[in-house]
Structure 1
Amino acid sequence: MNPTLSPANLTEIRNEEVVYQNPLLFLKIWEIKHDYPQCGLPDPWTWHWHKQVEFLVVTQGQLGIQTKDAYTVMEAGDVLLLGSSQPHRTHKYSEAPLHQIVFQIDLTQHFDLSTLAYLHLFSELTHSLEPFNELFRSNSAVRAKAYQLIRQIHEESQTRTIGYELAIVAAIKHLLLLLLRNDKRDLAGLTEDSGISRLRPALNYIDEHLTERITVEDVCRILNLSYHYFIKYFKKVMGLSFIDYVNYKRIKKAERLLLTGDLSIMEISYEAGIQNMAQFYKLFKRYNQCSPKEFKQRLRDHTEVQDEQPVGAITELRTACP
């Protein structure tokens, strides 16, 4: 089997509304079983995204998954973490039965006053969650423990034995601690109090008005802060300037729109709130090391599923720009 991604596979991107099984736990977890022999890329092969973080666990068979950066084949025992709002699409890779657990969760809701200092490490506003996937690939013990914890959360959510909420919360905290203590980045050097909660109204405003002109004065009024204090505070908390953050969010929106294959580059630039095409190309290349056209072309024509994948480890085929 060697299917190739083609323009016909590039369809609209769907914003998936996640309905929590328990609103107080801010999560949804369930098992999907595909026992039929049919496999390969569906037509259409649709993209979707959601605000919640998603963990994927394969318990049997092989699962193919594509994000904007890579095509990955998961085997039984593998774990993959998808960041908030990250577009992705999956398919059954081989004829063997496929069983997988899908775990969607708002991680930010699982921090209280005693653990708030670590929120910024998982909020994705200043630090990507992608390095955790490299951790799963390179550290079999961490991968096995994460696999076990997610299966435990699924079992507790199904049986709902008395106290299951406590068991689920404990397993989630254990999962976060597992990632935190095994991450090879210098997390100790990062600020302990991100202040993101104070900036939340401004961040929400940016998300809701990306297609419009956004100024520092707009968000200063929302937070009731002076111009100079705000720009210094924002840089300290977020690790980048206000303008750089807005541009980053706009390019991320442009990436999602490019995945649809429907809009022209100019239309995507306008939808992302960037009216100057030269500026759009400059910003896009800064974040992706290639032009929007090259980014789109790679997704269309240069991602292939390999004929054979090694068993027992996640195989990743890079599709991002070189």
Structure 2
Amino acid sequence: MDPIHSTSTFTEIVNEEVIYQNPLLFLKIWEMSSDTPQFGPPTPWRWHSHMQVEFLVVIEGQLGIQTKHDYTVMAPGDVMVLGSSQPHRTYKHSADALRQIVFQIDLKQHFDLSTMPYLHCFSELTHPLEQFNELFQSNDAVKQAAYNLIMQIYEESQSRKIGYELAISAAVKNLLLLMLRNDNRDFSALVEDSGISRVRPALDFIDEHLSERISVEDMCSVLNLSYHYFIKYFKKVMGISFVDYVNYKRIKKAERLLLTGDLSIMEVSFEVGILNMAQFYKLFKRHNQCSPKEFKQRMRSQSGLTPLLAQAD
């Protein structure tokens, strides 16, 4: 099958529920394999997402993967990370047998009081995790080390020897440390007591009321803080202003709604609490460098994927 010319109709995004293998470790890791000669995007080639971060490791064969921004063909030894709730879809890229490790994890659950100041270094808001893929692609030593750590986590989860929980927790922290210390971005300004637990009720309130008007006064009431103190404190903790955070969450929800294909652009705008269409277009383009209509067309068709496929081959 020729992946460039194969057809793939998109109907909906599957919001996948991840059942943890060990609820206290907040992760699921397993091997997927295919020995069949068939390859190329299936029909339909469905998108899916989940709240957990996902690492992909290819042991054998080639894996094609499309995300919101990119298309990649992974080869043996390659590692890729996908951020929380990021839509993606994969397929077997060659006739060779394919073996891969899929590692899904709720990263924030692996931060305790002593390591909480580093949580922002892996924030989807200020430092998208996909940017770490540039590190894996440019630094073979880091890629190999990440590969080995993920394989160690997989082997420990399979063996379940005494103390395997300690071994997995240590490997997860070593994986985060590896990424942190080898990344080119300056994280020093983020490494301080974040106070994330203090604003958690406000973040939950925002998630639950995105389709409504959300004001600073609402947040002050939830957290029992004064107006000016909340504004300063929220930005210090989250790294961005309250207004920018709410807009970010609205646009992320809009992206998911556009991917379902069920609502018009105006309906999506209203559903995420933006009643001014001009404002919705402006915010959406700021986050995606394209209009909502262009985003929907790009994600639902092969037209935007074909040039990337050609470059990858």
TM over 0.5: yes
| Number of the residue aligned with 1:245 | 245
**1:276: how far off?**
1.3
Q: Name the residue aligned to 1:213.
A: 213
Equivalences for 1:220-259 in 2 at 5 Å? 220-259=220-259
Once the two structures are TM-superposed, the CA of residue 129 in structure 1 deviates from its matched residue by 1.1
The answer to which of 118-127 and 202-211 deviates more is 118-127
Q: Which residue of 1 aligns with 2:10?
A: 10
Q: In structure 1, the residue corresponding to 2:309 is in which secondary structure?
A: coil
Contact kept in structure 1, 2:265 and 2:293, CA below 8 Å: yes
TM-score by length of 2: 0.94
Q: Could you say what secondary structure the match of 2:129 adopts? A: coil
- 1:130-149 equivalent positions in 2, closer than 5 A: 130-149=130-149
1:35-114 equivalences in 2 (<5 Å): 35-114=35-114
Q: Distance between the aligned counterparts of 2:251 and 2:309, measured in 1?
A: 30
* 1:28-39 superposed matches below 5 A: 28-39=28-39
Q: Name the structure 1 match of 2:26.
A: 26
Contact 2:3 2:41 in 1 (8 A): no
How many Å separate the matches in 2 of 1:199 and 1:9?
A: 41
Distance across 2 between alignment mates of 1:5 and 1:212: 42
In the aligned structure 1, how far is the partner of 2:62 from the partner of 2:181? 29
AA partner of residue 127 (structure 1): H
The 5 A counterparts of 1:277-316 are: 277-299=277-299, 300=301, 301-304=303-306, 306=309, 309=312
Give 1:263 deviation, angstroms: 2.4
Q: Which residue of 1 aligns with 2:157?
A: 157
The runs of 5 or more residues in structure 2 that have no matched partner are none
Would the aligned equivalents of 2:149 and 2:171 in 1 still touch at CA under 8 Å? Answer: yes
| Bigger shift: residues 106-115 or 178-187 | 106-115
Whole-angstrom CA distance in 2 between matches of 1:170 and 1:193 = 22
Where 1:31 maps in the other structure, the secondary structure is strand
Paired letter, 2:268: I
Structure with the bigger RCO (C-alpha within 8 Å, sep 6+) is: 1
C-alpha deviations, 1:159-187, integer Å up to 9, x for none?
Answer: 11111111111111110110010010111
For 1:233 and 1:4, how far apart are their aligned partners in 2?
A: 52
Counterpart code for 2:26: F
Residues 266 and 277 of structure 1 are in contact (CA less than 8 Å); yes or no, is this contact kept in structure 2?
yes
CA distance in 2, matches of 1:203, 1:189: 22
Post-superposition offset of 1:200: 1.0
CA RMSD of aligned residues (A): 1.7
Assess if the C-alpha contact under 8 Å between 2:117 and 2:194 holds in 1.
yes
Q: For 1:2 and 1:42, locate their aligned partners in 2 and report how far apart those are by CA, in whole Å.
A: 9
Instruction: Please say if residues 5 and 302 of structure 1, whose CA atoms lie closer than 8 Å, have aligned partners that are also in contact.
Output: no
In the TM superposition, residue 103 of structure 1 has moved relative to its aligned partner by 0.4
Q: CA deviation at 1:308?
A: 7.6
Post-superposition CA distance 1:79-134 (Å, at most 9, x none):
01000111111111111111110101111111112212111112324321122111
Q: Which residue of 2 aligns with 1:260?
A: 260
Question: Which amino acid in structure 1 is aligned with residue 115 of structure 2?
Answer: T
| More moved, 201-210 vs 75-84 | 201-210
Q: CA deviation at 1:3?
A: 2.7
Q: Percent identity?
A: 72
Deviation beyond 4 Å, 4+ runs, structure 1:
307-310
In 2, Cα distance between the equivalents of 1:287 and 1:116?
27
Counterparts of 2:288 and 2:310, CA distance in 1: 28
State how many pairs are aligned.
309
Q: Give the distance between the partners of 1:189 and 1:234, measured in 2 at CA.
A: 15
Which residue identity is paired with 1:94?
S
User: Which residue of structure 1 aligns with residue 203 of structure 2?
Assistant: 203
**Normalising to structure 1: TM-score of the pair?**
0.91
Does the CA contact (< 8 Å) of 2:67 and 2:89 recur in 1?
yes
The answer to whether the 8 Å contact 2:48/2:87 transfers is yes
Amino acid at match of 1:39: F
1:30 deviates by 0.5
Query: What do the CA deviations read for 1:21-42 (whole angstroms, capped 9, x no partner)?
Result: 1111111100011111111111
Take 2:280 and 2:311, find their aligned partners in 1: how far apart are those partners? 39
1:283-313 alpha-carbon deviations (Å, 9 max, x no partner) = 1111122211122233322212635846xxx
- Stretch deviating more after TM superposition (270-279 or 258-267): 258-267
Q: Is the 8 A contact 2:120 2:190 kept in 1?
A: no
Read off the aligned partner of 2:4 and give its amino acid letter.
P
Contact 1:13/1:49 (<8 A) preserved: yes
